[in-house]
A and B are shown apart, each in its own frame.
Chain A
């Protein structure tokens, strides 16, 4: 299935990835090639086949609802691009 520039715009917002005007056609072309490859799946009859999300069909192991983590805010914020007084700084969201 061919992807056009309009769809690249939409995908770029969904994926939170800006795509420049000049790259747009090339990105569309390469993604189209990948989708052509995966389109082979459409010819397969999968009626009644249960989707497989885990290769051993296992389910997530659950743990007791207990506090096991210590607060490591300082260690985690030490690697933040912009943090101050325990807060992550971002552009103004609310006017």
Chain B
């Protein structure tokens, strides 16, 4: 049952091959048996899930079910859930139970999905390996000595190990696409503003965007449909019409123009990764698309600009964790300053603290223009690169990551080495574009991701590009050994 895609589960439920309670119980049993080693989940909620499943079965029987009613899913533990712990993988929120649901959670609950649990992640979504989690590091199901990626590493590990058929994630600089790439999955980061950020614990507000980690593009389109909404509670949520994201999945790519940025194939790209991506591009050519070399000249400035902007925004966002209103509080504070300083020092992990301090530095008197303003100017140059490219092409494609999954602990001693993991995903985030990673081969036996980038609000086109590739190839159907 756990080998079924979301589309197949939905069909099986409608045709009464199994009930939502049955498939939910099946997943809960698998989680109980296998998650001790994978560590994909921070919280599993069997009772809540089975109650949701029973309600979904009633809706299915009554004939008022939606496309995903009764389908089990997992949520990244960054989305607030009323009555279920929301930790953001931080000691700071170890016992935090949100008084309200995130809009994404509300939307998917209303659609009738069943939440199996909350997935592991890098603390406050800051990391590319999930090693900054307070709750231990999820293992890559393809090789348990290796990382699942981050920050949505738990969501990727859960879907790859078939401990959930699909999961939500969030992406600030690559946090959906990179773990999807490392775990052989299809992950979509929508256009900035497409999915509501209400109740999604903020890291960098001008970059954060919710999305989906799935086994294939068709499933990703189904979940994104129920996830995206117009939300008055998020003032940065876009008013753009919610498209039918699966509308053109089956349309031909004949005549589509795909830009290939030369900067994405330079030094630092693992050879086998590059070969797999090149082969995928040739597949697109064979399907009738035209490949055009493009220039994104400011690419290498994206990581430096991001590591000013994201920490600056984080330092402002994370100031809300003050040890007073919620979250961790130190014992016996001597005065208010001591309460703030010790509560935060005890509650946050090292990477989060580093980023808050870098952000505070970049925003401090005397440095604001040299760092923060400069980075925002460079952000515009990067964004303009994409706009110029999109005047001539419909999509942009290249690798998602410079290399496949790396070993646990390999990059923890040098923050900068970890940051360079996101060299191909960060420019896209700075420009707010929709992008997806889909599996397109292997390097040293590990999955390789192909990144597909679209124009603003063209998730439909990106999903079409992904689905057409998946109709012609079978990389997305492969699953890791030993987890049957």
Contacts and interface: CB of A to CB of B under 8 A. Distances in A.
Interface stretch (B147-155, B368-376, B437-445): B368-376
B432 A56 contact: yes
Interface residues of B, number: 77
B99 A79 contact: yes
B358 A31 contact: yes
A55 B193 CA distance: 10
A81 B321 CA distance: 12
B364 interface: yes
B415 A34 contact: yes
Contacts of B337: 16
How would you classify the secondary structure of chain A's contact residues: helix, strand, loop or mixed?
A: loop
Contact of B415 (A15, A18, A33, A63): A33
Contacts of A30: 354, 415
A16 B336 contact: no
Given A30-B354, A46-B377, A60-B235, A37 B303 contact: yes
Contact of A17 (B192, B327, B338, B345): B345
A17 B380 contact: no
Interface string B414-430: 11100100000000011
A91 B330 CA distance: 12
A61 B430 contact: no
A40 B304 contact: yes
A61 B235 contact: yes
A19 B345 contact: yes
B319 interface: yes
A75 B99 contact: yes
Interface residues of A, number: 52
B287 interface: no
Contact of B326 (A18, A35, A81, A93): A81
A50 B301 contact: no
Interface in A18-75: 18-19, 27, 30-31, 33-42, 44, 46, 49-56, 58, 60-63, 72, 75
Given A15-B315, A49-B377, A60-B236, A38 B456 contact: no
Interface string B372-386: 011111111101000
B301 A41 contact: yes
A2 interface: no
Given A19-B345, A31-B361, A55-B432, 18 more contacts: A16-B322, A34-B416, A38-B375, A40-B300, A41-B378, A44-B381, A52-B383, A56-B432, A60-B235, A60-B236, A61-B235, A79-B97, A79-B99, A80-B325, A80-B326, A81-B328, A88-B324, A91-B339
26 contacts: A12-B341, A16-B319, A17-B344, A17-B356, A19-B345, A19-B353, A30-B415, A31-B358, A34-B419, A38-B371, A38-B375, A40-B300, A41-B301, A41-B308, A49-B377, A49-B378, A52-B380, A55-B430, A56-B192, A60-B235, A60-B236, A63-B235, A79-B99, A79-B326, A90-B339, A91-B338
